[in-house]
Structure 1
Amino acid sequence: MAYQALYRTWRPQRFADVVGQEHVTKTLQHALLQQKTTHAYLFSGPRGTGKTSAAKILAKAVNCEHAPTGEPCNECAVCRGITDGTIPDVIEIDAASNTGVDDIRDIRDKVKYAPSVVKYKVYIIDEVHMLSIGAFNALLKTLEEPPKHVIFILATTEPHKIPLTIVSRCQRFDFKRITSRDIFKRLAYIAGETGIAYDEQALNIIAHAAEGGMRDALSLLDQAVSFSEGKVRVEDALTVTGSISQNDFTRLAQAIQKKDAAECLDLVGSLLQQGKDPSRLVEDFILYFRDLLLYKTAPQMEEAVQRVYLDEAFKEMSRSLQTQEIYRFIDILNQTQQDMRFSNMARVYLEVAFIKLCEEKAPDPGENDLVRKLAEKIERLESELESLKQNGVPEADETEPAPKRQAQRKIPRTSKGFKVQVGRIHDILKEATKEDLKRIKNSWNDMIETLNSRQMRSQAALLNEAEPVAASPNAFVIKFKYEIHCQMAMENEKFLQAISSVLGELTGTGYQAAGVPENEWNTIRENYIHHHKEEAEEEKPQEDPVVTEAIKLFGPELIEIKD
Structure 2
Amino acid sequence: MSYKALYRIYRPQDFNEVAGQKHITTTLKNALVNDKVAHAYLFSGPRGTGKTSIAKIFAKAVNCVKAPTENPCNECENCKGIQSGVISDIIEIDAASNNGVDEIREIRDKVKYLPGYVKYKVYIIDEVHMLSTGAFNALLKTLEEPPQHVIFILCTTEPQKIPLTIHSRCQRFDFKSITTKDIISKLKEIVELEKLNIEEEALAQIAIHAEGGLRDAISLLDQASSYSPEKITLDDVNQISGAVSAQMLIGLAEALVQGNSTKAIELLDALITEGKEVKKINMNLIEFFRDILMARNLRNLDENNYLYKDEQFIQLSKMISNKMTLYILDVLINAANEIKWSNSPKIYLELAFIKITDNEVSSSSRIISMIDDLENRLSEVEKIKEDVDNYKEKESENRILEIVNKAEETEEKDLLEDINIEEQQYEDELDEETPQEVFEKQLCDDIDETYSIEFVESILNNGDRQDKSILINKWNNISKTYSNDEEKYIAQILETGTVVASAVNKIIITFPSVSICNKLMNDSNKKFAINILARHYNRKIDFIALPDSVFTDITDEFKALWTQNKGGYINLSKIRCEGLVNVNKEVIENETETKPKIVTDALDLFGDIVKVKK
Aligned match of 2:161: 161
The residue number in structure 2 matching 1:113 is 113
Compared CA separation, residues 364 and 145, structure 1 to 2 (3 A): closer
Q: Which residue of structure 2 lines up, in the alignment, with residue 318 of structure 1?
A: 317
Distance 2:209 2:340 in 1: 21
Does the Cα contact within 8 Å between 2:204 and 2:305 map onto a contact in 1?
no
356-365 vs 180-189, which moves further: 356-365
For residue 223 of structure 1, give the secondary structure of its aligned residue in structure 2: helix
Pick closer, same or farther for the CA change 1:206–1:116 going to 2, 3 Å: same
Equivalent position to 2:454, from 373, 381, 385: 385
**Structure 1 residue 321 displacement after superposition:** 2.1
Q: What are the equivalent positions in structure 2 for 1:382-421 lying under 5 Å apart?
A: 382-386=451-455
One-letter amino acid of the structure 1 residue matched with residue 312 of structure 2: A
1:184 aligns with 2:205: no
- Aligned counterparts of 2:175 and 2:457: Cα–Cα separation in 1: 63
Percent identity of paired positions between Structure 1 and Structure 2: 50
1:381 counterpart SS class: coil
Distance 1:73 1:40 in 2: 23
Aligned counterpart, 1:47: 47
Gap change, CA 1:88 and 1:193, over 3 Å in 2: same
> What secondary structure does 2:65 align onto?
coil
* Shift of residue 140, structure 1, vs aligned partner: 1.7
Which residue of 1 is the match for residue 354 of structure 2?
A: 355
Q: In the aligned structure 2, how far is the partner of 1:366 from the partner of 1:109?
A: 75
Summarize the alignment of residues 59-458 of structure 1 with structure 2, pairs less than 5 Å apart.
59-298=59-298, 300-303=299-302, 308-358=307-357, 359=359, 360-361=365-366, 362-363=369-370, 367-368=374-375, 381-386=450-455
Distance 1:69 1:383, change over 3 A: farther
Cα–Cα, structure 1 residues 144 and 349, in superposed 2: closer, same or farther, change >3 Å? closer
Q: Report the count of equivalent residues.
A: 391
Q: Which residue of the partner structure matches residue 423 of structure 2?
A: none
Cα deviation, 1:293-335, whole Å, max 9, x if unaligned, reads 111111x221298583422222222222222221222122223
SS in 2 for 1:303: coil
CA shift for structure 1 position 84 = 0.4
The alpha-carbon distance between structure 1 residues 267 and 253, as it changes in their structure 2 partners (threshold 3 A), is same
Q: In angstroms, what is the RMSD of aligned CA positions? A: 3.0
Task: Verify the 8 A CA contact 1:294 1:304 in the aligned structure 2.
Answer: no
Give the conservation status (yes or no) of the 8 Å contact 1:291–1:305.
no
Shift of 1:348: 2.7
Local SS of the residue matching 1:4: coil
- Letter aligned with residue 331 of structure 1: D
| Distance in 1 separating the partners of 2:448 and 2:45 | 53
Work out whether residues 180 and 304 of structure 2, in 8 Å CA contact, stay in contact via their aligned partners in 1: no
Secondary structure in 1 matching 2:271: helix
User: Shift of the alpha carbon at 1:205?
Assistant: 1.9
CA 1:279–1:135: 2 relative to 1, 3 Å: closer
Q: Deviations over 1:227-256 (max 9, x none)?
A: 114111111111110000111111222333
Q: Which moved more, 1:268-277 or 1:177-186?
A: 177-186
Q: Give the match's secondary structure for 1:173.
A: strand
CA distance in 1, matches of 2:216, 2:449: 60
From the superposition, tell whether residues 110 and 290 of structure 1 become closer, same or farther in structure 2 (CA, over 3 Å). same
- Distance apart, 1:275 and its partner CA: 1.1
The 1:126–1:365 alpha-carbon spacing in structure 2 relative to 1, beyond 3 Å, is: closer
The answer for the alignment partner of 1:530 in structure 2 is none
Taking the aligned partners of 1:152 and 1:277, their CA distance within structure 2 comes to 42
Deviation at 1:180, TM superposition (A): 2.7
Provide the C-alpha distance between the structure 2 equivalents of 1:249 and 1:184, rounded to a whole number of angstroms. 23
TM-score scaled by length of structure 1: 0.64
SS at match of 1:113: coil
* CA distance 1:81–1:342, change in 2 (3 Å): closer
Q: CA deviation at 1:209?
A: 2.1
1:389-427 per-residue CA deviation (whole Å, 9 max, x = no partner) reads 69xxxxxxxxxxxxxxxxxxxxxxxxxxxxxxxxxxxxx
Deviation at 1:114, TM superposition (A): 2.3
1:141 and 1:346, CA in 2 relative to 1: closer, same or farther beyond 3 A?
Answer: closer
Distance 1:369 1:315, change over 3 A: closer
AA in 2 matched with 1:282: N
Q: What is the alpha-carbon distance in structure 1 between the residues aligned to residue 135 and residue 270 of structure 2?
A: 54
Query: CA separation in 1, counterparts of 2:129 and 2:61?
Result: 26
Aligned residue in 2 for 1:5:
5
CA distance in 1, matches of 2:250, 2:136: 53
Moved more, 202-211 or 376-385: 376-385
Deviations 1:112-133 (A, max 9, x none): 2222322222111122222233
Q: Which residue type is aligned with residue 38 of structure 2? A: T
Opposite residue 354 of structure 1, the aligned amino acid is: F
2: distance between equivalents of 1:119 and 1:343?
55
Cα displacement (A) at 1:31:
0.9
Q: CA 1:307/1:52 → structure 2, altered by over 3 Å: closer, same or farther?
A: farther
User: How far does residue 291 in structure 1 lie from its aligned partner after superposition?
Assistant: 0.8
Structure with larger Rg: 1
1:32-76: CA deviations, max 9, x gaps? 121111011011122221111110000111111222222112112
3-state SS of the aligned residue for 1:112? Answer: coil
Cα distance in 1 for residues equivalent to 2:376 and 2:314: 26
1:103 shift after superposition: 2.5
**Which letter maps to 1:385?**
E
SS at match of 1:314: helix
What's the secondary structure of 1:67's corresponding residue?
coil
Question: 1:79 and 1:295, CA in 2 relative to 1: closer, same or farther beyond 3 A?
Answer: same
1:120-156 deviation digits (Å, cap 9, x = unpaired): 2211112222223333222222211112221111112
2:338 and 2:160 map into 1 onto residues whose CA distance is 30
**AA partner of residue 264 (structure 1):** A
Q: Distance in 1 between matches of 2:457 and 2:320?
A: 45
Partners in 2 of 1:181 and 1:263 — Cα distance? 36
Give the deviation of 1:364 after TM superposition: 5.7
Q: 1:355 to 1:73 in 2, by over 3 A?
A: same
Secondary structure class of the residue paired with 2:152: strand
What is the CA distance between 1:345 and its match in structure 2? 3.2
Classify the secondary structure of the residue corresponding to 2:136. helix
Cα 1:149/1:380, change in 2 over 3 Å: farther
Cα separation, partners in 2 of 1:73 and 1:383, compared to 1, 3 Å: farther
Look up the SS of the partner of 2:307 in the other structure: coil
Distance (Å, rounded) in 1 between the aligned partners of 2:323 and 2:316: 14
Equivalent residue letter for 2:140 = L
User: Partner letter of residue 152 of structure 1?
Assistant: F
Deviations 1:420-463 (A, max 9, x none): xxxxxxxxxxxxxxxxxxxxxxxxxxxxxxxxxxxxx99xxxxx
Q: Report deviation, 1:388.
A: 8.3
1:339 and 1:349 in contact (8 A); partners too = yes
Q: Distance in 2 between matches of 1:242 and 1:329?
A: 23
Which structure 1 residue ranges, 5 or more long, are not aligned? 391-456, 459-563
Say if 1:105 and 1:138, in contact at 8 Å, map to a contact too.
yes
Name the SS for the 1:41 alignment partner.
Answer: strand
The amino acid that maps onto 2:170 is: C
TM-score normalised by L of structure 2: 0.59
1:366 deviates by 5.9
Contact 1:294 1:305 in 2 (8 A): no
